[in-house]
């Protein structure tokens, strides 16, 4: 047994093991840099640098270093440098481990004059919020580069597949709830194009549609998506330009068709009142689409609504009803309506645009469903795999929550909000960015320096600090560095500070120092030895050196 241990010690402390470990380490790093170049920093970290096998290689190096010293004990004077170097390396390793284990490395975003104390860390978490109970649960997601099944369950909510790098693809999915026939819930996908640009867009009236809405603006043009049953009335060019819509019957009619007279109220606004079923309905169509009750209050959610086309004549407005379109032609002062056939372009009166109905569904829900991909990074920018998504399985239905789209569900009558975010840390003090200063290189827009003036609020009261490149702020164990900045549309600058706690720092510095001094010592000892044997030929010297080792 004792013999075996010596043998193991000799192998681990031996040169062959050291060279194998060093080679593995170098190979791992080479793969890592190429991964980083192709797939981005995050992916390289997740698949190489911060994986268990790369950690294992580093542990192997530690073992090799420690045993290399062990097998060369008891201490010999000529190896003093060697001992120091190897002890330095072990110290650096220990410091790195402490940083990894107990350190904090995050970032703090400071929008102008907005206090913040949330530090964003790098771990991905799922936050489940129960707003009614004021409760938040968070789950740490696996640190992986590829699609992984999480497989955890919490109160009937199953965490399914996690995609750390995903792209969203357009899909029609089946509706999850049941509806009656009069419930309008159709959706359509269109494209507009002229010689210069082409754009696809999807509009939906489906209550389950999360990713698509019923209105859209494209430059000066506003697109409205309305129920199909409203379409027949739009091309009618009735003089009042008013349309009434009965939701319960899914039908539209004009006041002229029903002989409803339009009066003028004292305010000058148009006014109409008529019997509808057993009720008297009153509308101020230029004020609200909803009817007014006797108290002259708007009745939101009523089944009968009015629509005044005059409101949409000034600016370009396009009305789409699934397979029908309508718009106002200003030159001819009239409204026109067209049927849309799938794939057949319809010329619009604006900038030579053609409109095409690409897809239509009465009941299916249009959605962007994430799919796991290999990310791609170009010029320091992620061009593929930008989204992180997690599948949630609730009562047999599957939902996708992404970092850019939280999901809200009703589970057993309780509201539950799911969001995918980075783990955060709340500081025991608060920052406000009071001023952000940026100098530019003369005559250009390139930043020459950027500096943050912050006010720090602690229990002892506020204090002002100036943080800039190479001048961090140290406060109660945290160090804050000027990391980057961003600018919003109004030209206001936000500053990003990187936040750091590093318990391993003294060890890394000490280890580095030992490494440098050890190397000097080592070569000085060698140099002295060589000097003593100066008369020897180079060949002999080389042989001797080899002997000594």
Partner 1 sequence: MKFLILLTALLTFSAEAKIDQTYFCQDKLGAIPIRQGGRVKPLYVHARELMKYLTGKRSYENLSAVQTYCLLSLQAMGLESPIKLEARVDHVDAQKFFNLPEGKKTIPLASLTGEISRLQREVRKSKDQDSLKKAFQTLLNQAAIYQEITTGNNWLFPALTGDRVDWIPITAFLSEGKIREAKKVSSTPFLKVIFDEVKRFEDQKTTEHLLEYRFMKMRLPIVSMVVTLLALAALTLFKKFKWALGLSFLTIILQLALITFRVLISGRAPITNMYETVLFSGFGALFLSLVVGHFKKEKVYVYMGLMYNACTLMMMNFATGMLSDNISPLVPVLRDNFWLSTHVTTIILSYGALALSWILANTVLIKRKLGGLTQSDEVYYADHIYTTLKWGTIMLGAGIILGGVWADYSWGRFWGWDPKETWSLIAFVIYMAILHGRYTSWIPNKRFIPLVAGAFMSIMMAWFGVNYILASGLHSYGFSEGGAVFLGSFFLVQTVIIVLTSKKSETVMG
Residues engaged in binding partner 1 (CB under 8 A) = 15-16, 18-19, 22-23, 25-26, 29-30, 32-34, 36-38, 41, 44-45, 49, 96, 99, 105, 196, 377-379, 383, 440-444, 446-450, 469-470, 472, 479, 481, 483, 498-500, 502, 505, 508-509, 512, 515-516, 519, 523, 537-539, 541-542, 545-547, 549
Contact criterion met (CB below 8 Å) for 107 and 500: no
Nearer to partner 1, 360 or 422 (CB): 422
How far CA 245 is from CA of 116, 302, 306, in Å, comes to 49, 11, 6
Nearer to partner 1, 53 or 523 (CB): 523
* Nearest-angstrom CA–CA distance, 276 and 334: 29
Three-state SS letters, 116-160: EEEEEEEEEEEEEEECCCCEEEEEECCCCCCCEECCCEECCEEEE
b (16+ CB within 10 A) / e for 168-189: beeeeeeeeeeeeeeebbbbbb
Nearest distance, CB of residue 535 and partner 1, angstroms: 15
Nearest distance, CB of residue 170 and partner 1, angstroms: 16
Nearer to partner 1, 121 or 393 (CB): 121
User: How many residues are present in the chain?
Assistant: 549
Nearest distance, CB of residue 169 and partner 1, angstroms: 15
Nearest distance, CB of residue 465 and partner 1, angstroms: 16
Place of tokens 């919020």: 129
Classify residue 258 as exposed, middle or buried by CB count within 10 Å of its CB (0-12, 13-18, 19+): exposed
Nearest distance, CB of residue 391 and partner 1, angstroms: 27
Nearest distance, CB of residue 37 and partner 1, angstroms: 4
Nearest distance, CB of residue 100 and partner 1, angstroms: 11
How far CA 254 is from CA of 239, 278, 377, in Å, comes to 10, 19, 56
Of 50, 47, 54, 51, nearest in space to 28 by CA:
54
Nearest distance, CB of residue 354 and partner 1, angstroms: 18
- Is the bond preceding residue 82 a cis peptide, omega within 30 degrees? no
Classify residue 549 as exposed, middle or buried by CB count within 10 Å of its CB (0-12, 13-18, 19+): exposed
Nearer to partner 1, 435 or 479 (CB): 479
* Nearest-angstrom CA–CA distance, 488 and 480: 23
Nearer to partner 1, 130 or 170 (CB): 170
- Helix (H/G/I), strand (E/B), else coil: 161: strand
Nearest distance, CB of residue 471 and partner 1, angstroms: 9
Nearer to partner 1, 135 or 440 (CB): 440
* Nearest-angstrom CA–CA distance, 165 and 43: 8
Place of tokens 């170098």: 26
Nearer to partner 1, 263 or 379 (CB): 379
Angle at 488 between CA 487 and CA 492, to 5 degrees: 70
Contact criterion met (CB below 8 Å) for 349 and 364: no
Nearest distance, CB of residue 520 and partner 1, angstroms: 8
Nearer to partner 1, 217 or 470 (CB): 470
Nearest distance, CB of residue 90 and partner 1, angstroms: 15
Nearer to partner 1, 72 or 422 (CB): 72
Nearer to partner 1, 158 or 354 (CB): 354
Strand pairing class (414-440; 407-411):
antiparallel
Nearer to partner 1, 331 or 547 (CB): 547
Nearest distance, CB of residue 401 and partner 1, angstroms: 27
Nearer to partner 1, 118 or 246 (CB): 118
Centroid of chain to Cα 538: 64
* Nearest-angstrom CA–CA distance, 64 and 242: 86
């Amino acid at each position: 047994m004792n013999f075996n241990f010596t043998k193991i010690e000799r192998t681990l402390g031996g040169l062959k093991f050291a060279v194998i470990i060093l080679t593995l380490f170098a190979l791992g790093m080479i793969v890592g840099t190429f991964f980083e170049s192709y797939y981005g920093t995050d992916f390289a970290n997740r698949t190489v640098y911060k994986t268990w096998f790369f950690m294992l290689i580093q542990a192997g190096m530690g073992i090799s270093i420690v045993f290399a010293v062990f097998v060369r004990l008891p201490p010999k004077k000529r190896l003093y440098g060697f001992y120091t170097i190897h002890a330095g390396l072990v110290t650096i390793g220990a410091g790195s481990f402490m940083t990894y284990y107990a350190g904090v490395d995050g970032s703090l975003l400071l929008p102008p004059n907005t206090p913040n104390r949330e530090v964003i860390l790098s771990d991905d978490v799922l936050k489940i919020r129960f707003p009614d109970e004021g409760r938040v649960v968070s789950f740490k997601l696996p640190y992986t580069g590829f699609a992984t099944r999480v497989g955890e369950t919490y109160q009937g909510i199953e965490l399914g597949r996690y995609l750390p790098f995903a792209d969203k693809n357009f899909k029609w999915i089946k509706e999850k709830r049941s509806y009656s026939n009069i419930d309008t819930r159709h959706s359509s996908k269109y494209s507009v194009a002229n010689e210069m640009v082409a754009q696809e867009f999807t509009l939906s009236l489906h209550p389950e549609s999360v990713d698509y809405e019923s209105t859209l603006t494209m430059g000066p043009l506003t697109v409205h998506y309305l129920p199909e049953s409203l379409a027949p009335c739009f091309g009618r060019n009735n003089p009042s330009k008013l349309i009434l819509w009965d939701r319960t019957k899914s039908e539209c009619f004009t006041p002229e068709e029903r002989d409803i007279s339009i009066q003028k109220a004292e305010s000058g606004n148009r006014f109409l009142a008529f019997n509808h079923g057993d009720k008297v309905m009153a509308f101020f169509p230029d004020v609200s689409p909803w009817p007014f009750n006797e108290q002259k209050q708007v009745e939101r959610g009523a089944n009968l609504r009015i629509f005044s086309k005059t409101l949409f004549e000034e600016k370009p407005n396009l009305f789409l009803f699934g397979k029908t379109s309508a718009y106002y032609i200003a030159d001819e002062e009239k409204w026109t309506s067209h049927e849309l056939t799938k794939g057949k372009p319809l010329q619009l009166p604006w900038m030579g645009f053609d409109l095409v109905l690409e897809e239509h569904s009465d009941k299916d829900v249009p959605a962007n469903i994430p799919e796991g991909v290999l990310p791609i990074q170009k010029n320091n920018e992620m061009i593929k795999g930008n989204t992180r998504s997690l599948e949630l399985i609730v009562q047999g239905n599957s939902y996708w929550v992404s970092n850019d789209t939280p999901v809200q569900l009703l589970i057993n009558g309780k509201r539950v909000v799911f969001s995918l975010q980075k783990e955060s840390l709340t500081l025991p003090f608060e920052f406000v960015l009071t001023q952000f200063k940026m100098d530019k290189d003369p005559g250009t827009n390139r930043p020459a320096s950027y500096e943050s003036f912050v006010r720090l609020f602690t229990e002892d009261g506020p204090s002002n600090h100036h943080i800039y490149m190479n001048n961090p702020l140290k406060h109660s164990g945290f160090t804050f560095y000027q990391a980057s900045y961003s600018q919003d549309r109004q030209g206001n600058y936000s500053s990003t500070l990187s936040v750091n706690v590093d318990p391993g720092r003294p060890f890394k510095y000490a280890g580095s120092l030992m490494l440098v001094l050890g190397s000097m010592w080592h070569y000085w000892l060698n140099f002295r030895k060589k000097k003593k044997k100066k008369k020897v030929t180079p060949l002999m010297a080389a042989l001797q050196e080899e002997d000594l080792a």
